[in-house]
Amino acid sequence: MKFEDDTDEQSLECYAIFQDYVQKLDVKLDEFLIQEKMDAEDMFKICQRAYKADSENLVSLNWILASVEYPKFVAMMLEFK
């Protein structure tokens, strides 16, 4: 399995990895929200405030945002290649 940076297309295996990442992240976020007794809107507002205050130090937020769109996920994978 390889994420390629010299092409616009990725393998189906790479897309399957993305889908697995999204599913696992959804489970973890749901568990976190239950544990912290908050809803997704509250978390969004907190993240938005933190990002506005200091976007450079929020690497973990970038990992969460990478689950929103496949191209962002691919870019993140290429960063760690």
User: In this structure, what token pair is assigned to residue 53?
Assistant: 């205050």
Alpha carbons 48 and 42: distance in angstroms, whole number: 10
| Rounded alpha-carbon distances, angstroms, from residue 12 to 5, 9, 19 | 15, 9, 11
Residue whose C-alpha is closest to residue 18's, from 72, 59, 58: 72
Per-residue pLDDT of the chain (81 residues; tens, 9 = 90+): 576 666 666 778 888 888 998 899 899 989 999 999 999 999 889 888 888 888 776 777 777 777 778 888 878 888 776
**Domain residue ranges in the chain:** 56-81
Instruction: Output the pLDDT for position 60.
Output: 75
User: In this structure, what token pair is assigned to residue 29?
Assistant: 């976020």
What type of residue sits at position 5? D
